[in-house]
Structure 1
Amino acid sequence: MAMTVTPVIEGWFSTGERPALLGSACTSCRTVYFPPVGGFCRSPVCEGVGFESVELGRRGRVWSYTDAQYQPPPPYIAAHEVHVPFALAAVELPEGLVVLGQVADGFGVAELSVGAVVELVVETLYADESGERTIWRWKPVVDDGDEETS
C-alpha cells in the first residue's frame, strides 16, 4: 500500500514541480499576508474584509539565519531519535514579506549568507503509520539568473 503524502499545514503551501507558499491579498488595498488570513484586513488604513489566495514568489533573499542546536519542544516532531541540528532562515520574498523556515536537507549555516538567494522546496518533515508529512524549506541557489528576486 502506498503512503499518503500530506502537507503538515494544509493551505500554506502548494506541492508539485514548482511549489510555492500561499498567502492572502486584501481585495481592497492589495496588502499581502502569509500565512493566509481572512476576516478583516490587518492594515490600519484599510477596512477591507475580502481576500483572495495568492501564490508568493518561490525565491527570495536570506534576511537572517541561525542553526537549531537544540531540539524544539512539542508539538515539534523530531525526524530522528537523537536531535540532528538544522539551519533556519528568514527569507525576504519579492512581495516584501519575511518568512521563516528550515533550510533544505544537506545545507547548513556554512552555505548561507545574508542576501544569498534561496528557493522554496518541499521535503519530508517526518513519516509515521498514517503517511508522510511535508513542509516547505529554503534551498540555497547557486545560479540566481533564472528568476527575479527581491
Structure 2
Amino acid sequence: MWFTVEDGLTYLVGTQCTACRTVCFPPKTGFCPNPRCDGEQLNETRLSRSGRVWSYTNSCYPPPEPFEAAEPYVPITIAAVELDREKIVVLGRVKDLTVADLSVGMELELTSEDGVWLWTR
C-alpha cells in the first residue's frame, strides 16, 4: 500500500535506506537505489503530508490499456509535488482544483477518499 490513513490524516508510505537515508516513493524492496550506496535494508517510513507544486497538468484523455477508465471519462488534474521534508517529487491526482487554480510553489497537502490518495489545498 502506498498510503495509510491514521487518525483521519493521510500519509504516503515510502522506504528509507538504513545506510545512507535515501528515501524512495513508491516503497521498494531490495537494494538502495542510490548508486553510491551498497545498503540492502530499506525500512518503511511515513512521508511528509505536504509539499509545494513543482509542476502540474491535466489529463484530458483516458489512459491506455491496461488501465480501465470510467465511462464517460472525466479529465483529471495531476500535480508533481516536492515533499517538504524529503525533497523528493511525487506525482498524484489533485482534488477539487484545476490547472487554472494551481501555480508552481503553491502548497498542497494529502487527503484521501474512496481508497485513493489525492493532493488538495
Report the Cα distance in structure 1 between the residues aligned to 2:39 and 2:28, rounded to whole angstroms.
12
**Aligned residue runs from structure 1 range 1-150, under 5 A:** 11-16=1-6, 17-79=8-70, 81-94=71-84, 95-104=86-95, 106-124=96-114, 134-140=115-121
What's the offset of the Cα at 1:37?
Answer: 1.2
Could you tell me how far 1:15 is from its partner in structure 2?
2.0
Q: Percent identity among equivalent residues?
A: 50
Which residue in 2 is equivalent to 1:127? none
Q: Mind listing any 5+ residue stretches in structure 1 that lack a counterpart?
A: 1-10, 125-133, 141-150
Q: Which runs of 5+ in 2 are unaligned?
A: none
| TM-score, normalised by the number of residues in structure 1 | 0.75
Helix, strand or coil: the match of 1:15? strand
> Shift in Å at residue 73 of structure 1?
1.6
**CA root-mean-square deviation:** 1.2
Give 1 or 2: higher strand fraction.
2
Q: Residue by residue, what CA displacement relative to the aligned partner does 1:8-63 show, whole Å, maximum 9, x if unpaired? A: xxx21002411110000001111111011111111111110011111000000000
Deviation at 1:85, TM superposition (A): 1.2
**Partners of 2:97 and 2:29 in 1: CA distance:** 35
CA–CA separation in structure 2 for the residues paired with 1:21 and 1:34: 8
Deviation digits for residues 45-86 of structure 1, max 9, x if unmatched?
A: 11100111110000000000001111112232324x211111
Deviations 1:81-138 (A, max 9, x none): 211111000000020110001111x2211211000000111122xxxxxxxxx11111
Q: Tell me which stretches of 4 or more aligned residues in structure 1 moved more than 3 Å.
A: none
